[in-house]
């Protein structure tokens, strides 16, 4: 059913891991497949009970995050967040790209959380699970509202995105970036437009993402290029070129993570690889397994984002050399928390001094 999933990343809508029975679509020879409608994006609202998610993972550099949306219309086939859709009773495949959930009360919940007396500020990460600047943000503007709250409280934020909608918010991000309160990570997996279109079907092309770096850097936002995921045998030859192009666009830092294939993502990735690059499938999967102890993926802390073995070490060394050569190896200073303050509400007594 290629026509039905045009513009989508996943090849299937395979049942999630929690279901006892598996549903498989099989053409019975009677209906015309061409008559079936394409997969359309559907959005439902969720009145969230809380908005700041906490984590204590030892290999993640932040302890709190916000996700204004569940699912992501960008449709990146490699997205490690796909398995989270299984908790909604949906497929990590096509459902993850087309059955989206919006949290319209996110900003209100955030304002309440930040106003609590016991709240202690630390950088909030946004976009680490699903992209807050995916296409539906254009109309919903939930991320914009969240950013306005963070601005009002002088609260530090780190954003990861592939979406050009981030440029809409430079009026907020610019001053916050200059004050040491905001930074943005732009993910660039490849400079090959055709490969990007197949692998990330609804993401702006690589050249457009480089332009995003230019726009953000111009208004004073520190930008990190995220060469993630690096796929051995498919995109690893582009490491140096991506880092150099991002540096030329204005990036001031760089990071990388090799391809991760947790849970259902492994099957979805293999299906995609077999459809688009069957001649490279054996090579890519062999190198990935070499990096993950013979498995498609090693979920252990400290290894899941770096891999192990010869291929993982080669990638890390190459990336370190590329960032040194480009002048992007230095660590960025921590975001400021000392400016945090709860803004006065209407009717509050203002301080005399």
What band does 199 get if pLDDT is binned at 50, 70 and 90? very high
Percentage of the chain exceeding pLDDT 90: 81
Beta bridge partners of 243: none
Q: Is the pLDDT of residue 91 over 60?
A: yes
Residue 20 CB partners (closer than 8 Å, separation 6+): none
What is the pLDDT, as a whole number, of residue 27?
64
> Which of 9-18, 25-34, 150-159 has the weakest average pLDDT?
25-34
Cα distances from 166 to residues 75, 88, 133, 310, in angstroms, run: 18, 28, 6, 38
Q: Is the pLDDT of residue 35 over 70?
A: no
Q: Is the pLDDT of residue 1 over 90?
A: no
pLDDT digits (tens, 9 = 90+) for 140-194: 999 999 999 999 999 999 999 999 999 999 999 999 999 999 999 999 999 999 9
What band does 13 get if pLDDT is binned at 50, 70 and 90? confident
Mean pLDDT of the 106-110 span: 98
The Cα–Cα gap between 245 and 231 comes to: 19
Strands 53-54 and 42-45: what pairing?
unpaired
Beta strand residue intervals within 119-222, DSSP E: 124-126, 157-161, 182-187
Structure-block tokens of residue 132: 């807050």
What is the pLDDT, as a whole number, of residue 17?
83
The Cα–Cα gap between 153 and 327 comes to: 33
What is the pLDDT, as a whole number, of residue 2?
59
What band does 200 get if pLDDT is binned at 50, 70 and 90? very high
**Structure pTM?**
0.92
> Which of 6-15, 47-56, 178-187 has the weakest average pLDDT?
6-15
What is the pLDDT, as a whole number, of residue 32?
60
**DSSP letters spanning 225-267:** EEEEEE-TTTTGGGHHHHHHHHHHHT--EEEEEE----THHHH
**DSSP letters spanning 42-88:** EEEE---S---EE---TTSS-SEEE-SEES-TT--TT-TTGGGGGGG
Averaged pLDDT of the chain = 93
pLDDT digits (tens, 9 = 90+) for 320-351: 999 999 999 989 999 999 999 999 886 666 55
Q: Residue 227: name the closest of 262, 201, 251 by CA.
A: 251
Sheet containing 157-161, strands listed edge to edge, beginning at the edge strand earlier in sequence: 53-54, 64-66, 124-126, 157-161, 182-187, 223-230, 253-258
Exposure string for 153-165, b = 16+ CB within 10 A, e = fewer: bbbbbbbbbbbbb
CB atoms within 10 A of CB 353: 2
Residue 67 CB partners (closer than 8 Å, separation 6+): 53, 103, 126, 128, 129, 130, 132
Q: Are 69 and 132 in contact (CB under 8 A)?
A: yes
pLDDT digits (tens, 9 = 90+) for 249-303: 999 999 999 999 999 999 999 999 999 999 999 999 999 999 999 999 999 988 8
The Cα–Cα gap between 66 and 81 comes to: 14
More confident residue, 316 or 27: 316
For 32, phi then psi, to 5°, come to -90, 120
| Residue with token string 């995050």 | 65
For 41, phi then psi, to 5°, come to -75, 125
Domains of the chain: 33-326 (3.80.30.30)
Helix/strand/coil for 164: helix
Q: Is the pLDDT of residue 352 over 60?
A: no
Q: For residue 41, give the H/E element and its range.
A: none
Mean pLDDT of the 95-110 span: 97
């Amino acid at each position: 059913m290629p026509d039905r999933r045009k513009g989508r990343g996943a090849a299937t809508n395979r049942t999630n891991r929690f279901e006892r029975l598996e549903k498989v679509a099989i053409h019975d020879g009677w209906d015309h497949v061409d008559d079936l409608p394409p997969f359309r994006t559907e959005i439902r609202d969720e009145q969230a009970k809380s908005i700041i998610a906490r984590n204590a993972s030892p290999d993640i550099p932040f302890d709190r995050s916000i996700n204004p949306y569940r699912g992501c219309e960008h449709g990146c086939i490699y997205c490690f967040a796909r398995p989270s859709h299984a908790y909604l009773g949906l497929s990590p495949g096509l459902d993850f790209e087309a059955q989206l959930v919006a949290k319209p009360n996110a900003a209100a919940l955030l304002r309440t959380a930040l106003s609590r007396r016991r709240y202690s500020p630390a950088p909030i990460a946004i976009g680490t699970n699903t992209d807050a600047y995916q296409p539906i943000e254009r109309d919903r503007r939930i991320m914009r509202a969240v950013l306005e709250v963070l601005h009002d409280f002088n609260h530090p934020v780190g954003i990861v995105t592939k979406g050009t909608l981030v440029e809409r918010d430079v009026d907020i991000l610019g001053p916050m970036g200059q004050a040491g309160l905001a930074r943005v990570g732009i993910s660039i997996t490849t400079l090959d437009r055709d490969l990007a279109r197949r692998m990330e079907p609804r993401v702006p092309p690589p050249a457009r993402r480089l332009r995003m770096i230019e726009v953000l850097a111009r208004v004073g936002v520190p930008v990190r290029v995220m060469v993630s995921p690096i796929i051995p045998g498919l995109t690893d030859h582009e490491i140096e070129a991506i880092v150099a192009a991002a540096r030329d666009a204005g990036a001031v830092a760089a990071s990388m993570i090799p391809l991760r294939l947790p849970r259902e993502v492994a099957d979805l990735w293999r299906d995609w690889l077999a459809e688009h690059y069957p001649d490279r499938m054996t090579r890519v999967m062999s190198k990935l397994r070499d990096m993950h102890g013979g498995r498609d993926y090693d979920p252990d802390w400290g290894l899941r984002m770096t891999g192990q073995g010869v291929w993982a070490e080669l990638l890390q060394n190459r990336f370190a050399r590329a960032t040194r050569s480009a002048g992007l190896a230095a660590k960025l200073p921590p975001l400021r928390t000392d400016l945090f303050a709860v803004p006065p509400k209407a009717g509050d007594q203002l301080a005399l001094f």
